[in-house]
Amino acid sequence: MSRRPIGIFDSGIGGLTVFKEIAKILPNEDLVYLGDTARVPYGTKSAATVTRYAVQNVRFLLRENVKLVIVACNTASAFALEALRREFDLPLLGVIEPGVTGALRSVASKNPKRIVVIGTEGTIASEAYGRALRQRDDSVDAKGVACPLFVPLVEEGWWDTEVTEKVARTYLDETLKTGLEAMILGCTHYPLLKGTLSRIAGPRVALVDSAEETARETAVLLEKEGLKNSSYAAPSHKFYVTDSPERFQRVGSMILERTLSNAHHVEI
């Protein structure tokens, strides 16, 4: 069982930020990535639709004989994770709880703990982060800001441009005036905007990268479940997309900082 791959899915290319961090922390693990690029973005869709897509994605990954599935999409984690856990008998990890853990660690010495969550319309409307933060620490003052244009900007590879900075300032300038301690990047596309976001937020606001936190939690979960691969054979990395593999490979190569040329188109 431990020699089986880890499955990772997202609505598009953003989950490659999670893939990259997992590959760094767990270099012995085989990884299978599914980007549902035909139906991106998930953030503007209903909970029922996102859940249906998520179930289809997990079924596809199970055909790859995965031992664990990472829901590398905040919207799917917010809307579908519990349904997936009822439907499938294998470990599943979303990106919200790891992000919450990282945020609370970053503001542990603060009082009050002022945290903003930025994400898609679906993630922010779900209030999943706010509830999870307050369940863990009722002193948290949590706000949510939807930033729907960030996903298409990232998908275009426009990570640190004048246009992206103007969009980010339009979304965030008013909130940043309220005196924040931390900003949760509540979409796996958003770590690619760290340069722009850190410049706007300034050094006093901790940026919480859910991709890094999820990779750490993945390592913990593998140890807990006895699923960590102890083999030192060269790992296998597979990539599947539901549309436009060429575009996925072009932007994905930029994210992974290596040539990505083996993305295969699939129907799910």
Angle at Cα 78 formed by Cα 75 and Cα 81, nearest 5°?
110
Distance CA 242, CA 263 (A): 10
Please name the residue that has the structure tokens 């035909």.
38
> How far apart, in Å, do the first and last CA atoms of the chain sit?
25
Contacts of 240 (CB under 8 A, 6+ apart): 32, 33, 34, 35, 60, 263, 264, 265, 266
Nearest to 209 by CA among 189, 223, 225: 189
187 is a catalytic site residue: yes
Q: Do residues 185 and 191 lie in contact, with contact meaning Cβ atoms separated by under 8 Å?
A: yes
Q: Which two tokens stand for residue 69?
A: 């599935």
Q: Which one-letter DSSP state was computed for residue 189?
A: T
Distance CA 146, CA 124 (A): 6
Q: Which of 73, 167, 251, 255 is catalytic?
A: 73
Distance CA 109, CA 93 (A): 28
The amino acid occupying position 50 is V
Distance CA 133, CA 143 (A): 11
73 is a catalytic site residue: yes
Q: Do residues 36 and 11 lie in contact, with contact meaning Cβ atoms separated by under 8 Å?
A: yes
Q: Which of 80, 84, 187, 263 is catalytic?
A: 187
Q: What is the set of active-site residues? A: 73, 187
